[in-house]
Structure 1
Amino acid sequence: MIHEQLLLVIALFFLMAMLYLLSQRFNISYPIFLVMGGLAISFIPAIPNIIINPDLVFLIFLPPLLFEAAWHTSWNNFWKWKRPILLMGFGLVFCTSLAIAYLSASIIPGFTLALGFLLGGIISPPDAVAATSVLKGMDMPRRGMAILEGESLVNDAASLTVFRFALAAVLTGEFVFQKAATDFLVLAVMGVFIGLVIGHILYLVLRFWAKSSSITTPITLIAPYLMYIIAEEFHWSGVLSVVSGGLLLSYRSKDYLNYHTRMQTKEVWETVGFLLNGFVFILIGLELPVIVGGLGDYSISEAIWYSLIICAVIIVIRIALVYLMDAISGWFGADTSVRDKNARKLDFIIGWAGMRGVVSLASALAVPLVMNNGEAFPHRNLILFITFVVILVTLVIQGLTLPLILRTMKMKEEEDVIPPEDQIDAIRLQLTREALAYLRNKYPDEQDPRDAIGHIRELMERKINLIEQDIQEQADSETMASQKVRHKEVMLELVGLRRNGLQKLREAKAYDDEVLRDMEYNLDLEEARLSRY
């Protein structure tokens, strides 16, 4: 039995990889392609039904996904845009959950308010992976991307908290607001506390004991599970524990990661995040026919009707609340005079980018099969069906139209935002000048060009002159954009030429493979740097 399940998982990973390659070929965001591909595969007669134990969903998927999101969150951007991030992360989740609770209870026969809040907690958080994958390479202002990514980190914690209390209310049949508010405060504060304590312990281990990448990366993989399991063992928030601990370890990573461990950890986490996200996205498509078959008393037309109404409401609510919160808080600038059409366009893009994804599916799959008294959980399959339709509709419709809307609106980057390539030039110039000053101060008697220190100083002075000349040429040239494109094309061409040369040397067996692999890795890094901008 376990061999069959393992083979099925491996086969899904392989299919996921093939679908990802196809999405790259057709230039479609991979979450959209995985969902559609999974749905198409599910109709193949030989494909077995996939059933996941609800108790394992949160434990397997959520800790690493939340930790990865926290790890890659820019603390500076998070703090800079904390007002819109917190307003959207908490405000949108609670408002959406409240609206969905009353709406679903009013249009679905036998649907209680507690079940409505449960459904609201499941479908309220947008998915940052889906949004960023759709917006990748588009002219999206970086302020908007920072807000979307920061919001996703907060709204995951907020929505899962709503889900937790709503689920408890359904299972126990009672809900006291005062007690719930007190419990929420306790589990939130203690969850954060547990995350910070474990984060500090792991930080000390990584900084003073773990000196090898062979142990540093595994510790970061274990960390989210430690934080989540320990917090949940005390009935506190495992979600907030992972988020707070992940933010701490990410913020202090410069103290315990060298260049090698940093690169390895980054690559491993990107792989883990892609596999988990991709697996969940393909499950969305694979599970839908199974859920349809278990709707019970509801016809497929009724279920689709409820789902589309709820889907339309969450889309409209998000757009309306983004405009409202921006108007009230003025998060795009304290001076309302600078709130031009560009800011209003950004409001709409942020509102339209509310695609649902991994966290919603994980929450829906985590709804238990039976109640505490042994009876079947009420309306479980309908909740799952609505969640699947909401994810499918928002991913496909909003995901496919978002790039078109962004191009039509012709968004402009804010004037105070420095382009990445200009930042790189400025950083290179500053660091080289500081290094040159260090050489002059520390080795004042070794400045002859024939000496080692003098030779290094001369190289740095040449580098400074080249950087300054490059910056000046960019500022003076009217064809700066085309020159940059041409420069990148030629540099990539030279990388390819050197890569071919390395392959010939490998075939000639004139050098050690380790040396050639190191040289190839350096070319990989150079090509990655050139391809980024």
Structure 2
Amino acid sequence: MVEQFPYLLIMLAAIILLIMLANRLKIAYPIALVLGGLAISFIPNVPVITIDPDLVLIIFLPPLLYADTFSLSMKEMWRWRRIIFSFAFIVVFITAAAVAWVANMVFPGFSLALGFLLGGVVGSTDAVSAAAIMKYVKVPNRISTIIESESLLNDASSLIVFRFAALVVTTGQLVFSTMALNFLWVVIGGVLIGLIVAFIMRKLQKYLPTDSNMDILFTLIAPYIMYLAANEVGASGVLAVVAGGMYMSYYFMGNNIQAESRNKGAAVWDILVFILNGFAFILIGLDLNEVLRGVQAEGIDLWTATGYGLLIVAVLVGVRMLCSYGAIVITQIMKHFITVADRRMPGASVPLVMGWAGMRGVLSLAVALSIPHTLESGEPFPHRSLILYITFIVILTTLLLQGLTLPTLIKWVKFPDYGDHIPEEEAESLIRKTLAQAALDYMQEHYREGITNTFLLQNQKNIWQYQLDSPTCSTTPEVRAKYIAILQHQRNVLKKLNRDPRIDEAQIRDFLKQLSLEEEKWGIS
């Protein structure tokens, strides 16, 4: 590993340059990284970086999932919960079944169990690619929320399919009653373990003295503890990380974490996710040579294997499109019996975009690489190299085909004016006025004295003139404590204001960041 360190530094430099190029060309950076990795893999004598398949999921998956939960809006997820959970679970199971059936019918020597295993590998969509693409185009908030939330949750459902299919392939046993009970434990146990670990870590941070460094380290180890603890007892590590991350995300919006910890933690996690995503996507391209050697060793013609991969791409796109339009039809029927989020007919554009936004990425590669090399009997795992190559073709094709055309499609379609949220300017004005009134009311109630003799607690409009006119321009710890208490009260008001469905949670988060910066600026040392 030491001798490969210079190569890792060169790779990191290449990642930075490729992302800069992607930003210049206004394309999603995962596309540039995969193509860059492909180009590097053809350079003669390039060192091969291999990762133990058992460590692939552990290294990349927990922190990336954990970071995604902090960027999602719980309010919007709950509002669109039916469509999100339908795509994240039902559509994944339908997709896996379709892939299994096609693979069993077309691929020589492919059992249904192997087909379901392949379906689990390629069943989940990639949140990073979708978010990177939608950064350059204007998409209605409900569309981006559904796509990104689905991409987060379908990681768990696809891994559940993969897990049970791998168990059948490696052991050769299939007991439906046992599998049903195991499935319930995998889901419920994963959620419970994630919440329990998050709750314990929250209490430790609350009752033990910590500083910003320790708080950040807590967040770094949290996803790994959740993931490993759940896997150790046979539950879903992915669901544990997602559930625990959502709990911690809500907790971090409150006043129990130091402002310095929130601000530094956001910066640390931005860098960590940047590095992990960069290495993960460039490794997809770099892995081509090893995958090709495996397919050739298996005695499969490269063109035939490529055809298999493109066939699976067609199945994935076709099933997702059918499910997208089917979801609209089902919603129009069910609105007569239940309360749905929007009773209006969305038109053809929404399911078209939803169906086309099905890029595959990091998780599919990580899951494919985690397939064991041998069965319990010691025999080679059947068609492992072919599954890896098909996964590679699926990732590459969906990133290039759908990733490059999705922005054009989004610009081409005409989205209706949903009116989910009030205009951004109006929402900002409402938030600022609410915070100003909350601050004034709080000062009037708690600090009737000592407001007019310090510049910090003066009205912000007159603060600079007050500093010039005031004989002293210093701030005592007592005054800073009052100001921080006001800021914390405003944070609580923001959390309550977030319940208003007219306001986009992204704006609430922006104001929370501003309060954290202000709180750290005047924090008591």
In which range does the TM-score fall when normalised by the shorter chain?
A: 0.7 to 0.9
In the TM superposition, residue 163 of structure 1 has moved relative to its aligned partner by: 0.6
Q: CA deviation at 1:107?
A: 0.5
Q: Which residue of 2 aligns with 1:362?
A: 366
Question: What amino acid maps onto 1:348 in structure 2?
Answer: L
Counting only pairs closer than 5 Å after superposition, residues 36-435 of structure 1 correspond to structure 2 as 36-253=35-252, 254-295=254-295, 296-330=298-332, 334=340, 338-341=344-347, 344-435=348-439
Distance 2:425 2:307 in 1: 49
Q: Which letter does structure 2 place at the counterpart of 1:264?
A: K
Q: What letter is aligned with 2:98? A: A
Aligned partners of 1:16 and 1:177: how far apart in 2?
A: 46
> Amino acid of the residue matched to residue 242 of structure 2?
V
Q: Which residue of 2 aligns with 1:475?
A: none
Separation in 2 of the partners of 1:63 and 1:316?
Answer: 30
Q: Deviations over 1:381-424 (max 9, x none)?
A: 11000001100010111011011111111334422322333322
1:116-174 superposed Cα distances (whole Å, 9 cap, x missing partner): 00000010111011001001031100001111121112101100111111111110012
Partner of 1:456: 458
Normalising by structure 1, what TM-score?
0.81
Q: How big is the shift at 1:327?
A: 1.6
Letter in 2 for 1:384: L
C-alpha distance in 1 between matches for 2:228 and 2:449: 60
Output one character per residue of 1:8-63: Cα deviation in whole Å (capped at 9) or x when no partner.
33332221112111111222110000001100110001212332211111111111
Residue identity matched to 1:277: N
CA distance in 2, matches of 1:340, 1:242: 33
Unpaired segments of 5 or more residues in structure 2? 465-516
Whether the 8 Å contact between 2:99 and 2:118 is mirrored in structure 1 is yes
Paired with 1:443 and 1:63, the residues of 2 have a C-alpha distance of: 45
Please, what TM-score do these two structures have when normalized by structure 2? 0.83
Structure 1 residue 443, shift from structure 2 partner: 5.8
Deviation at 1:338, TM superposition (A): 2.2
Kindly state the Cα deviation for residue 271 of structure 1 after the two structures are TM-superposed. 1.4
Q: Taking structure 1 as reference, are residues 157 and 454 closer, same or farther at Cα in structure 2, changes over 3 Å only?
A: closer
> Would you say the 8 A contact 2:80–2:341 is kept in 1?
no
Question: Does the CA-based 8 Å contact 1:188-1:236 persist in structure 2?
Answer: yes
- RMSD over aligned CA atoms reads 2.5
- Structure 1 residues 259 and 337: CA distance shift in structure 2, 3 A: closer
Separation of aligned partners in 1, 2:450 and 2:261: 35
2:14 alignment partner AA: L
Deviation sequence 1:329-382 (CA, Å, 0-9, x none):
2499848762143xx312211111110001111101111111112221110111
Q: 2:479 — aligned with what?
A: none
Contact 2:79 2:341 in 1 (8 A): no
Post-superposition offset of 1:458: 8.2
SS of the aligned residue for 2:285 comes to helix
- Cα separation, 2, equivalents of 1:3 and 1:363: 27
Q: Flag structure 1 segments of 5+ consecutive residues without an equivalent.
A: 463-520, 526-533
Q: Structure 1 residues 454, 159: CA separation in 2 closer, same or farther (over 3 Å shift)?
A: closer
Residues 15 and 266 (structure 1), Cα distance of their counterparts in 2 relative to 1, 3 Å cut: same
Quote the Cα distance in structure 2 between the aligned partners of 1:193 and 1:458.
46
Aligned length: 460
Structure 1 counterpart of 2:344, which letter? V
C-alpha contact 1:142 1:413 (8 A) present in aligned 2: no
Bigger Cα displacement from structure 2, 27-36 vs 417-426: 417-426
Identify which range, 372-381 or 28-37, moves more after superposition. Answer: 372-381
Matching residue of 1:484: none
Say if 2:26 and 2:136, in contact at 8 Å, map to a contact too.
no
- 8 Å CA contact 1:446–1:454 kept in 2: the answer is no
Q: Is the 8 A contact 1:443 1:453 kept in 2?
A: no
Residues in 1 aligned to 2:39 and 2:214: alpha-carbon distance in whole angstroms:
41
Distance 1:335 1:244 in 2: 23
Summarize the Cα distance change of 1:455–1:170 in structure 2 as closer, same or farther, 3 Å threshold.
closer
**Contact 2:455/2:463, CA 8 A, preserved across alignment:** no
1:210 to partner: Cα distance = 4.5
Distance in 1, matches of 2:292 and 2:457, equals 73
Cα distance in 2 for partners of 1:381, 1:89 equals 27
Moved more, 19-28 or 250-259: 250-259
Preserved CA contact (<8 Å) 1:281 1:358: yes
Instruction: Determine the C-alpha separation between the residues in 1 that align with 2:456 and 2:180.
Output: 68
State the 1:259 CA deviation.
2.4
Q: Match for 1:73: what amino acid?
A: L
